[in-house]
Amino acid sequence: MKTKLKIVAIGGGSSYTPELVEGFIKRYKELPVTELWLVDVEEGKSKLDIVGAMAGRMIKAAGLNCEVHLTLDRKTALANADFVITQLRVGQLAARIKDERIPLSHGMIGQETNGAGGIFKALRTIPVILDIVEDMKQLCPNAWLVNFTNPSGIITEAVMRYGKWNRIVGLCNIPVNAIAEESKLLGEEPENLFFQFAGINHMHWHTIVDKNGIDRTEELIDTMYRDTKNTSIVANIQDNELIYEQVKNLHMIPCPYHIYYYRTDRMLEQEFREFKEHGTRAEAVKRIEQELFELYKDPKLDYKPKQLAERGGARYSDAACEVIRSIYNDDKKIMTVSTVNHGTITDLPYDSVVEVTCTMTSNGPIPFQFGSFKPQERGILQLMKSMEQLTIEAAVTGDRGTLLQAFTLNPLILSGDVAKQTMDELLEAHKQYLPNFFRRGK
């Protein structure tokens, strides 16, 4: 086992980075990170400098033997890396604002990882991630890629399917948050409960069994609906609980993002109201980020400020750092991640990527067998997986017909001429990041 680790964070100028650094500090005895490289692009240099300086102060205050390097040269950073974390946003928040505003202008959900906006975030990201993988093949062929870039499941499948890179784990903080919050609702410590998640990223369900083998899922559903404030564990999904009869019928706990599919009308109404009052969620995040970076500039600040929780990335470090720590120590920790299906969910293609409960090992995630869903989950799950795979194919080929098929399948996108018009507007809005859609004949 190596006693010195080199970790590279691509998108290192992110406002989330202090939480990542805090996670490494807390785990230093089990995860001896001696080199932390923060990488960004020219447009993100000012943020990288601010966050990098703060990361250095945090590590110095903790008294750790770890060097922090800041660079715009990805290849220099990747050389001989042990772990690579991707937390990037192609086009930065300006692109997200377009992803949200344009669908809303056509009467559709405008959201970062769902609907038309989610598809376009994937389209911009996949070519960049595949380029990173090609660099990794040359510069750090034994490294693990830990992807936190949304939409995480789609990105992970693109890397496996087209990048031919299997040393990847896709991450989301939703399962980590659910375990922490739902354990409290049941009055149990998380280690006394087994949460089995199954589905795909932002489209999964889970059940809960305690150490005595008693299924606590129904109890949790009833507990959640006695106080509707208990139903939200995501910062950008507010007081819009799912319908009790529907969740009760599932006999499983849905991911909070199901609200966009189970109660589209209510979420669309909320988005229009908030847009009128405050702008889109991306514009709210932009204001939060500006405040955070003003805090980060303080030369005396050497710890993660509590305001970061408002950004929506609660327990981010727990997800990213625990995956890395568990792979490094081969300690068989149980976590929920995106990984290759290999028959875990029989309703989905064998070689597709699923988000499931796994045992983490030095060889990567080993999923707990799930089996088959009931029709009420299976139908939308298979539809969404097909949509994901068409999105990946479109990102790689630049084929507009394939992209329109992905739009047509997505339940949050209106069909026909509206879908085509929205697609064309988004393509034009993001033209600089999507050159393969604008080559002759496309």
Active-site annotation, residues: 257
Residue 106: phi, psi to the nearest 5? -105, 15
Which residues partner with 345 through β-bridges? 371
* CB-based burial label for 430 (10 Å; 0-12, 13-18, 19+): buried
21 neighbors 58 (Cβ within 8 angstroms): yes
In 3D space, the residue among 24, 114, 91 whose CA is nearest the CA of residue 323 turns out to be 24
Residues 6+ positions from 432 with CB-CB distance below 8 Å: none
Amino acid at 411: P
* DSSP percent split of the chain into helix, strand, coil, nearest 5: 50, 15, 30
Residue 312: phi, psi to the nearest 5? 100, 10
CA distance 111 to 353: 22
Amino acid at 27: R
Q: What is the dihedral of CA 230, 256, 125, 293, to 10 degrees?
A: -10
Q: How many helices (H) and strands (E) does the chain have?
A: 16, 12
